């Protein structure tokens, strides 16, 4: 096998890993990632592919048609939920499998998806207001509570967009976020804006608490993805603890000084 061919094959695996990594980063399930990578590699004439993915790492070993065995590993160290991008990545991989383009073209299309310009910040504010206020009413709050929640939702979304502390340490971000919203919530209720502090805070908590992550973690374990499930499970418990700690801290501050 020539070096040229080998380079080409390595590049292909790398591209498939790029797509898999992007899917993990946008919230795709590990089974989907494994499936996507092995499908893409099989349409490019790889004889055999073994893919192993957990939330923080993907590993691929593939046997090329020339008989050589190639292995690549990718560390994934951050993920969020961006379902629209996940949908587009999924469409891209389907198109690749239906009609394999020259490998050089895939990279630029992937970049197009990932580099999509952000829309107006207003939309994300509107989304978080609807989500948080919706759940305040859902859990039995009234319209005043919903209005107070809307204010807090804007604060949370602002901190999320600016990524305050988020790059350094995720837990620190959740702690800071819940201290700020906890204090503001207390102050708003004291000022007579909103009546039920617990309903207001639960609405806000729905935005940050990893309830979805923990449920999906258990589901992952039940369907056989035990390592992924355990990773997410431990992470979710830590996040929930730092959020609760933040709220306890904020009520201590408010209780102590006011």
Q: Binding residues for other proteins, per CB under 8 A?
A: 26-29, 32, 81-87, 90-91, 119, 123-124, 126-135, 137-139, 202, 205-207, 209-212, 214-216, 218-219, 221-223, 237, 240-241, 243-245, 247-248
Q: How far is the CB of 138 from other proteins (least distance, A)?
A: 4
d(CA 102, CA 12): 10
How far CA 41 is from CA of 87, 129, 183, in Å, comes to 20, 43, 52
d(CA 47, CA 69): 10
Q: What dihedral do alpha carbons 194, 197, 198, 204 form, nearest 10°?
A: 70
Q: How far is the CB of 140 from other proteins (least distance, A)?
A: 9
Closest CA to 243 of 149, 174, 157, 159: 174
Q: How far is the CB of 64 from other proteins (least distance, A)?
A: 29
The residue among 18 and 82 lying less far from other proteins, judged by its C-beta, is 82
The residue among 83 and 187 lying less far from other proteins, judged by its C-beta, is 83
User: Residue 64: CA atoms inside 13 Å, Cβ hemisphere, count?
Assistant: 17
Q: How far is the CB of 154 from other proteins (least distance, A)?
A: 13
Chain-centroid distance, C-alpha 218: 17
The residue among 64 and 186 lying less far from other proteins, judged by its C-beta, is 186
The residue among 73 and 215 lying less far from other proteins, judged by its C-beta, is 215
The residue among 66 and 211 lying less far from other proteins, judged by its C-beta, is 211
The residue among 1 and 222 lying less far from other proteins, judged by its C-beta, is 222
Q: Sign of the C-alpha dihedral, residues 6, 12, 14, 17?
A: negative
User: Residue 101: CA atoms inside 13 Å, Cβ hemisphere, count?
Assistant: 15
For residue 86, count other CB atoms closer than 10 A to its CB.
20
Q: Sign of the C-alpha dihedral, residues 143, 149, 150, 151?
A: positive
The residue among 11 and 32 lying less far from other proteins, judged by its C-beta, is 32
Q: How far is the CB of 124 from other proteins (least distance, A)?
A: 7
Q: How far is the CB of 256 from other proteins (least distance, A)?
A: 16
Closest CA to 27 of 75, 91, 92, 78: 78
Q: How far is the CB of 234 from other proteins (least distance, A)?
A: 13
The two tokens of residue 173 are: 């971000």
């Amino acid at each position: 096998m020539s070096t040229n061919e080998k380079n080409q094959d390595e590049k292909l695996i790398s591209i498939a890993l790029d797509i898999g990594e992007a899917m993990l980063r946008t919230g795709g399930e590990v089974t989907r990632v494994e499936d996507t990578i092995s499908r893409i590699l099989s349409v490019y004439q790889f004889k055999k592919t073994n893919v192993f993915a957990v939330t923080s790492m993907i590993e691929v070993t593939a046997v090329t048609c020339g008989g050589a065995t190639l292995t690549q590993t990718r560390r994934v160290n951050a993920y969020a939920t961006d379902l629209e991008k996940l949908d587009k990545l999924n469409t891209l991989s389907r198109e690749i499998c239906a009609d394999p383009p020259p490998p050089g073209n895939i990279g630029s299309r992937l970049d197009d998806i990932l580099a999509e310009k952000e829309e107006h910040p207003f939309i994300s504010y509107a989304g978080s207001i609807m989500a948080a206020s919706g759940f305040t009413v859902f859990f039995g709050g009234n319209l005043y509570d919903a209005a107070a929640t809307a204010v807090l939702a804007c604060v949370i979304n602002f901190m999320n967009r600016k990524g305050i502390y988020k790059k350094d340490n995720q837990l620190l971000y959740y702690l800071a976020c819940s201290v700020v919203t906890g204090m503001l919530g207390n102050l708003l209720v004291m000022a007579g804006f909103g009546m039920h502090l617990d309903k207001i805070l639960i609405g806000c908590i729905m935005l940050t608490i990893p309830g979805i992550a923990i449920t999906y973690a258990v589901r992952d374990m039940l369907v056989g993805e035990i390592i992924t499930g355990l990773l997410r499970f431990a992470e979710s418990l830590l996040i929930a603890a730092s959020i609760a700690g933040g709220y306890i801290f904020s009520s201590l501050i408010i209780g102590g000084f006011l």
